[in-house]
Amino acid sequence: MIDLAFTILVFAVLAVVIIVILALFTSFIVAVFGGGPFVPTPTKEVKRILKHADIRKGDRLYDIGAGDGRFIHYSTKLYGAKATGFEIDPFVYMLARLKQILLKWKGEMVRSDFRTHSLKDADIVICYMLPNTLKKFKTKFEKELRPGCKVISYTFKVGNWKPIKILPKNKKGHKKRIYIYSVRDNSAKTRTKKKTTSKRK
């Protein structure tokens, strides 16, 4: 009996070790190719960002690296947004789902790369990703987001976009900047470029 119990214990420990290694490996792959590592935004900062997002009830909000789902939870709970979070890391996604089940967190979590989904109906897009990643995603934003949609980036700028508002560090201990952008209609610029090109010809 002792040998059997010891064998079961050894296999249980090995299973936990394998799961942890897989989780770390998966998170590393996601961090390199998916947009960045999982770094939770402090709850105070989440609420500060949402406060300045000017969310109206029923607004369609997407968090494109949702982590444990805190942005979608508070935007739904406090402002009545229709919030969806995309999370590519399966283990972080499981954490988000556990919080929804155990803590009754609100919003919709999708275990997927947001790049495979359309953002055309978005009113607000929230992101907390590295600069190089945001620069790559800028093309998708410009192609799909409708005029007037707000893009809010925590800590890092979105490529060469010009923000309509920057919330700086303040005396209450907030260490990161918040960049707020408003998508503009690029059709006029496109028409101007075409006219300019035709004149040169």
pLDDT, one tens digit per residue, over 28-41 is 455 445 556 778 89
Predicted pLDDT of residue 18: 63
Cα–Cα distances in Å, from 74 out to 62, 94, 99, 107?
13, 18, 13, 9
Domain that holds residue 11: 1-33
90 and 126 both lie in a single domain: yes
102 and 137 both lie in a single domain: yes
Q: Is 56 within the bounds of a domain? A: yes
Please report, in tens digits, the pLDDT of each residue of the chain (201 residues total). 667 776 777 667 776 556 555 554 455 455 445 556 778 899 999 999 999 999 999 999 999 999 999 999 999 999 999 999 999 998 899 999 999 999 999 999 999 999 999 999 999 999 999 999 899 899 999 999 999 999 999 999 999 999 999 998 655 655 689 999 999 865 434 333 444 444 444
114 and 73 both lie in a single domain: yes
CA distance 2 to 29: 41
Q: Is 196 within the bounds of a domain? A: no
For the chain, the domain total comes to 2
89 and 9 both lie in a single domain: no
Give the pTM. 0.76
68 and 8 both lie in a single domain: no
185 and 106 both lie in a single domain: yes
Radius of gyration of the chain (CA): 21
Predicted pLDDT of residue 6: 62
Strand order in the sheet with 178-182: 108-110, 82-86, 60-63, 124-127, 150-154, 178-182, 165-167
Q: Is 18 within the bounds of a domain? A: yes
Q: Token pair of 140, please?
A: 């998708």
152 and 62 both lie in a single domain: yes
Give residues with Cβ within 8 angstroms of 71, minimum separation 6.
41, 46, 49, 50, 61, 63, 83, 85, 126
CATH number at residue 50: 3.40.50.150
pLDDT tens-digit series, residues 174-199: 568 999 999 986 543 433 344 444 44
Q: Which of 106, 113, 153 is nearest to 129 (CA)?
A: 153
Q: Is 201 within the bounds of a domain? A: no
17 and 99 both lie in a single domain: no
Q: Is residue 57 helix, strand or coil?
A: coil
Predicted pLDDT of residue 12: 72
Cα–Cα distances in Å, from 99 out to 2, 63, 102, 128?
38, 16, 5, 20
Predicted pLDDT of residue 28: 46
